[in-house]
Amino acid sequence: MNTGPQNDWFDKDFYKTLGVSKDASGAEIKKAYRKLARKYHPDANPGDEKAEEKFKEIGQAHQVLSDKESRAQYDQVRAMGGGARFSAGAGGPGGAGGGGFDDVFSDLFGGGGRTRTRTTYGGGGDVPPDLADLLGGFGGGFGGGGYGGYQPPVKGGDIKSSTTLSFTEAIDGASVKLNMPGGKPLTVRTPIGVKDGQKIRLAGKGKASPNGGEHGDVILTVHVKPHPVFTRDGDNLRMELPISFDEAALGAEIKVPTLGGMPVKVKVAPGTPSGRTLRVRGKGVKTKKGTGDLLATVEIVAPKNLSKEAKQAVESFKAATEGEDPRAGLLDKAKAS
């Protein structure tokens, strides 16, 4: 037989746990609970397992005694059973070990005598007569919904936190120390390739349950600082790649920086225009799914200060390409649209 959490009612003195008398009023119970809860709260006793266990016991006691119906049922059970437990098997009903239904219900059937009228049911076990009616008087019996006002343990609350990483730390992953309520820091490792604004759930690192349930979670929001050269596009990295006019016109092999690594050489084809994107494979963001690429968008930079010789060279180039018009047809296209 599964008696559920109510089996504790035979063993635990909830009045003693809260430090109140059995005749205490609801207000006295509430006041005692609040005082003890503040004293033993996990946030006030970080890392103290005994305080955390005490906090759970206080929560359970208050859960039962703060509700009139569950308190009345608890008082009935305690008065009836003393410190005895329901048991099964050898120590259960009809077994040799005693301490089962016979002990608990002795006063109800024959004033303490050992003679019983038994009824056999289902699987062949013996139970006292009218047991279903007797247990029904205590808030619906065992299992199922439990005793009247009893509530199952609830999960503790979540804690929201945030951290700021450099662009490189976000790509590579980093160890972060978080300041938690109660003063005890929490060190976590961020995932590789975490994105700006991404939320990370740290299971079981949040607030303690008020009545013995699971701890809540920590919800960590990650902010990423911008990089002076690179931006992120999914698992790819993007950058603007300045090149000179002669490199664009004649073609060249130039060095391109990578994030946290040695530069790589990239070929620029002759006649490369501004806006063309060059792809460097395998130099993007590394994730469990794979590694992205580095996408370098070409930007032709015109010289601001020309020497006399350079100016003459440009003028000579202009004369040599006089018949070429990069805007040919542009006006006609504009009118057509």
Neighbours of 17 (CB within 10 A): 20
| Long-range CB contact pairs, 40-44, < 8 A, 24+ | 41/208, 42/182, 42/207, 42/208, 43/181, 43/182, 43/207, 43/208, 44/182
Answer positive or negative: Cα dihedral of 259, 265, 267, 268: positive
- Average the pLDDT over each of 16-25, 147-156, 161-170, 221-230 and give the range with the smallest value: 147-156
Whether the predicted pLDDT of 63 surpasses 80: yes
Top pLDDT among 323 and 231 is at 231
Supply the pTM of this predicted model: 0.51
Residue 318: which pLDDT band, with cuts at 50, 70 and 90?
confident
- Residues 42-62 have a mean pLDDT of 86
Top pLDDT among 134 and 275 is at 275
Neighbours of 335 (CB within 10 A): 7
Q: What is the DSSP letter of 120?
A: E
| Interhelix angle 49-65/26-40, nearest 10 degrees | 160
Residue 6: which pLDDT band, with cuts at 50, 70 and 90?
low
Angle at 7 between CA 6 and CA 10, to 5 degrees: 105
Whether the predicted pLDDT of 298 surpasses 90: yes
- Residues 28-56 have a mean pLDDT of 87
Neighbours of 191 (CB within 10 A): 14
Give residue 91's pLDDT: 40
- Residues 232-242 have a mean pLDDT of 95
Give residue 231's pLDDT: 96
Top pLDDT among 125 and 184 is at 184
Chain mean pLDDT for the chain: 79
Q: Give the pLDDT confidence of 64-91 residue by residue, as tens digits.
A: 898 888 888 888 887 775 444 444 343 4
Give residue 7's pLDDT: 57
- Residues 314-331 have a mean pLDDT of 86
Q: Which two tokens stand for residue 169?
A: 């730390």
Residues 247, 267: Cα–Cα separation, whole Å: 10
Are 177 and 165 in contact, with CB atoms under 8 Å apart? Answer: no
Residue 131: which pLDDT band, with cuts at 50, 70 and 90?
very low
Residues 237, 305: Cα–Cα separation, whole Å: 32
| Long-range CB contact pairs, 106-114, < 8 A, 24+ | 107/80, 108/80, 108/134
Strands 218-224 and 159-165: parallel
Question: What are the strands of the beta sheet with 159-165, ordered from one edge?
Answer: 159-165, 218-224, 199-202
Top pLDDT among 332 and 300 is at 300
Residues 183, 90: Cα–Cα separation, whole Å: 51
- Average the pLDDT over each of 32-36, 107-111, 258-262, 323-327 and give the range with the smallest value: 107-111
Unique residue bearing structure tokens 């089996």: 7
% of the chain exceeding 90 in pLDDT = 40
The alpha carbon of 313 is separated from its chain's Cα centroid by a whole number of angstroms, namely: 65
Give residue 151's pLDDT: 66
Residue 37: which pLDDT band, with cuts at 50, 70 and 90?
confident
Q: Which two tokens stand for residue 148?
A: 């009247």
- Residues 283-305 have a mean pLDDT of 91
Residue 270: which pLDDT band, with cuts at 50, 70 and 90?
very high
